[in-house]
Amino acid sequence: MLITIDQALAPDQVAELRARLQAAPDAWVDGRATAGFQGAPVKFNQQVDEASPVAAECQAVVLAALERNPLFISAALPNVVYPPMFNRYGEGMTFGAHVDGGVRIDPRTGRKLRTDVSATLFLSEPEDYDGGELEIADTYGEHAVKLKAGDLVLYPATSLHQVTPITRGERLACFFWIQSLVRDDGQRTLLYDLDTAIQRLGQTGADETARTTLVGCYHNLLRQWADV
Ligand code: NI
């Protein structure tokens, strides 16, 4: 499932992050610092050093916003969220086709985290740069994603994807991964659809007994499929 979440960050939060990131030029390093065997040869961008103070400050803003976002919770069913990272593509920079690493080490805990869902949170307005589309391939074809600042896209971490070359301006973004309670994308999608329908029934005055039964089905499916 590929899903976009509008205004995961409010405009003032985007402005705050942009100001913090731009005020810390020494924190930016070559993006290949964290690329794996497959990604390093095709990755040409910059990212904020995960150990820098500005990274921690900006991560806190993003994580707090995600925790309060019901659409994010429903779609990702997060178990562990990797500390958000921040990248920058200037003119000529690009990240060629790759699949994100399946397991990462959580720098906070040293524990391994399975990457079920990949996330990109756009921090630049689309009119401020040309190119820089996030192209994601799934079973239905290729999707070019270029969202407004503050908007978030979630997609299965199993997807082949790339960031096309920037031909004008600068693209600033936040990216991270989620180990979901439900590792299978198909099961997660069913739960998301069921939850969305249940919410809608609640808003439209549907039969309460039938709705309660569906809520029970949701939780009993989650119980069957969740690993915690
Ligand atoms: Ni990637």
Cα 157 to averaged position of ligand 1 atoms, centre (Å)? 8
Cα 228 to averaged position of ligand 1 atoms, centre (Å)? 25
- Ion ligand 1 neighbours (CB, 5 A) are 100
Which residues lie closer than 8 Å to 7 by C-beta, 6 or more apart?
A: 150, 151
Cα 128 to averaged position of ligand 1 atoms, centre (Å)? 22
Instruction: Please report the pLDDT score of residue 111 as a whole number.
Output: 96
Instruction: Please report the pLDDT score of residue 136 as a whole number.
Output: 97
> CA dihedral defined by 183, 185, 187, 190, rounded to 10 degrees?
140
37: pLDDT strictly greater than 80: no
Show the tokens assigned to 184. Answer: 């299978």
- Which DSSP category does 149 fall into? T
Task: Classify 160 as helix, strand or coil.
Answer: strand
Mean pLDDT over 147-154 rounds to 98
Percent of residues, the chain, with pLDDT higher than 90 = 92
Q: CA 42 to CA 27: how far, in whole Å?
A: 22
Cα 68 to averaged position of ligand 1 atoms, centre (Å)? 25
Helices (H), ranges, the chain: 11-22, 53-67, 70-76, 185-203, 208-225
Mean pLDDT of the chain: 96
pLDDT band at 39 (very low <50, low <70, confident <90, very high): confident
Cα 177 to averaged position of ligand 1 atoms, centre (Å)? 10
Task: Classify 32 as helix, strand or coil.
Answer: helix
Is the backbone of residue 132 left (phi > 0), alpha (psi -120 to 50) or beta?
Answer: left
Cα 225 to averaged position of ligand 1 atoms, centre (Å)? 26
pTM of the model: 0.95
CATH numbers and ranges of domains, the chain: 3-180 (2.60.120.620), 185-225 (4.10.860.20)
Closest CA to 98 of 162, 2, 153: 162
Closest CA to 30 of 83, 89, 118, 96: 89
Cα 159 to averaged position of ligand 1 atoms, centre (Å)? 9
Mean pLDDT over 11-18 rounds to 98
Q: CA 157 to CA 51: how far, in whole Å?
A: 24
